[in-house]
């Protein structure tokens, strides 16, 4: 099993994140806030920019960074900072996540506008969502825990897309 990046590497990733923000400031002629950088992302994504109201942050996956450190420093960091810059410039207005505005920021960073990170992730911890057995008149289904909980609380009903029958929980 791969170990996550160490404190020194985390500091280097944070510094690189701030360097790209400074590069955007220089290229665009305006200031951008330094936002929190977290290393709590798991699963198959190497990085993620998030905004919730006035708060924004960038999350990185420390296990994927450990396995492909240099590639992520040169690819994932500018990718996520570009999302932040586009969000800071355009706010809640609808812009495509990897649209022309994002590509222009990536060009400013002289970074490859690669959208996906497709590498071997063996040894990287993966999230696995539990599923729950449901049934309709024509077949069996697996519902996510989120949907299962909605059904159990009486807040949701789901139907088969083939026979339109209601999905009913099947005790395992």
Task: Show which residues are catalytic.
Answer: 80
Which residues are CB-contacts of 109 (< 8 A; sequence separation ≥ 6)?
Answer: 20, 23, 24, 78, 81, 82
Q: Rounded to whole angstroms, what are the CA distances from 133 to 46, 107, 158, 169?
A: 31, 48, 13, 6
Structure token pair of residue 136:
């309709």
Structure token pair of residue 85:
């810059």
What does the alpha-carbon distance between residue 171 and residue 164 come to, in Å, rounded to a whole number? Answer: 21
Give DSSP secondary structure letters for 10-28. HHHHHHHHHHHHHHHHHHH
The DSSP letter of residue 159 is B
Structure token pair of residue 95:
């812009």
């Amino acid at each position: 099993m791969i170990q996550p990046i160490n404190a020194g590497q985390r500091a280097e990733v944070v510094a690189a994140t701030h360097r790209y923000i400074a590069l955007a400031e220089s290229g665009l002629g305006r200031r951008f806030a330094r936002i929190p950088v977290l290393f709590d992302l798991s699963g198959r994504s190497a990085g993620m920019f998030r905004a919730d109201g006035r708060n924004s942050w960038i999350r990185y996956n420390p296990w994927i960074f450990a396995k492909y450190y240099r590639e992520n420093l040169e690819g994932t960091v500018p990718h996520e900072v570009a999302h932040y810059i586009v969000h800071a410039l355009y706010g809640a207005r609808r812009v495509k996540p990897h649209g022309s505005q994002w590509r222009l920021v990536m060009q400013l960073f002289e970074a490859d506008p690669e959208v996906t990170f497709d590498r071997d992730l063996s040894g990287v911890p993966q999230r696995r969502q539990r599923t729950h057995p449901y049934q309709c008149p024509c077949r069996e289904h697996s519902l996510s825990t989120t949907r299962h909980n909605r059904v159990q609380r009486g807040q949701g009903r789901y139907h088969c897309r083939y026979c339109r029958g209601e999905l009913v929980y099947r005790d395992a």
